[in-house]
């Protein structure tokens, strides 16, 4: 049985106080969901909760010594310096996050991130032993005009190039690429399995082509793939049938514990 990753992206749906209340109310639920999901012999699934940045530290403390992992929703493309309002990958590691979402379409839009900045974040996270979850996806216009793959190529290429310049990629870190069609996020619209199958196979092939000739000494990163975009308990059953998917990035549905539990189960 495949190991699956379930990422709850709480976005900015809850304030600091509401986040602490929600996590406290469902502490036992989350802990038992993470520990009882799959018998160990069949491999362990992982749940990552991603609160907004102000709530990160108390949530990390709360779930310390449980199987729940905590992820940040952002990090800076810079390492150090005069960047008011930003936090570097180093802090994401020091605070105790195991994962970090980068390149989310909402952040790309809001902060006008370039592809290169997303790639820089990716590499800094790897440098600081934080698992990057990098989001890629096409707009509705690109989807309608069959430009999905060229949009994904544009987003993936700088990331692959950045990885290739790294001499060491620790094999204990498995970076994730989350395919999230932008038109699917928060809209209730989900692409058919045929489209998703095609896209996931294409990404998987890109990964193997890019890294099959990596020079000796540089480890080949074990990149895994997630799907995100209006995942619900109902559609997750069908989405789980897509061979290359190793988990889900869940936004809106992760705010309802019972719904999130059904997705995981």
**Which of the following is catalytic: 104, 106, 138, 259?**
104
Least Å distance, CB 209 to ligand PEP, is 27
Which of residues 152 and 169 has its CB atom nearest to ligand PEP in the complex? 152
**Which of the following is catalytic: 115, 142, 180, 259?**
180
Q: Supply 129's token pair.
A: 């032993």
Which of residues 36 and 186 has its CB atom nearest to ligand PEP in the complex? 186
- 94 catalytic? Reply is no
Which of residues 210 and 230 has its CB atom nearest to ligand PEP in the complex? 230
Least Å distance, CB 80 to ligand PEP, is 29
Q: Which residue is nearest to ligand PEP (CB)?
A: 251
Least Å distance, CB 173 to ligand PEP, is 21
- 26 catalytic? Reply is no
Least Å distance, CB 34 to ligand PEP, is 20
Which of residues 11 and 69 has its CB atom nearest to ligand PEP in the complex? 11
Please report, as ranges, the residues that interact with ligand PEP according to CB under 6 A.
9, 11, 104, 180, 185-186, 228-231, 249-253
Q: Which residues are catalytic?
A: 104, 180
């Amino acid at each position: 049985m495949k190991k699956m990753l379930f990422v709850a992206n709480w976005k900015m749906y809850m304030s600091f106080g509401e986040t602490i209340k929600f996590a406290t109310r469902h502490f036992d639920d989350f802990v038992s969901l993470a520990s009882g999901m799959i018998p160990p012999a069949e491999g362990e699934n992982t749940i990552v909760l991603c609160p907004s940045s102000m709530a990160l530290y108390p949530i990390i403390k709360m779930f310390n010594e449980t199987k729940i992992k905590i992820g940040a929703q952002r990090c800076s493309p810079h390492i150090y310096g005069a960047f008011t309002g930003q936090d570097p990958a180093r802090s994401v590691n020091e605070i105790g996050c195991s994962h970090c979402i980068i390149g989310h379409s909402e952040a790309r839009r809001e902060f006008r991130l370039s592809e290169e900045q997303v790639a820089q974040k990716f590499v800094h996270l790897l440098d600081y032993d934080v698992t990057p979850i990098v989001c890629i996806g096409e707009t509705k216009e690109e989807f309608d005009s069959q430009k999905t793959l060229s949009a994904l190529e544009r987003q993936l290429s700088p990331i692959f190039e950045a990885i290739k310049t790294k001499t060491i990629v620790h094999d204990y870190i498995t970076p994730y690429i989350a395919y999230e069609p932008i038109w699917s996020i928060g809209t209730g619209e989900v692409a058919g399995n045929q489209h998703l199958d095609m896209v996931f196979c294409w990404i998987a092939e890109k990964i193997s082509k890019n890294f099959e000739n990596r020079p000796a000494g540089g480890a080949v990163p074990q990149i895994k793939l997630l799907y995100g975009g209006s995942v619900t308990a109902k559609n997750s059953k069908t989405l789980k049938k897509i061979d290359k998917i190793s988990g889900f990035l869940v936004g809106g549905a992760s705010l309802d514990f019972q719904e999130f539990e059904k997705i995981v189960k």
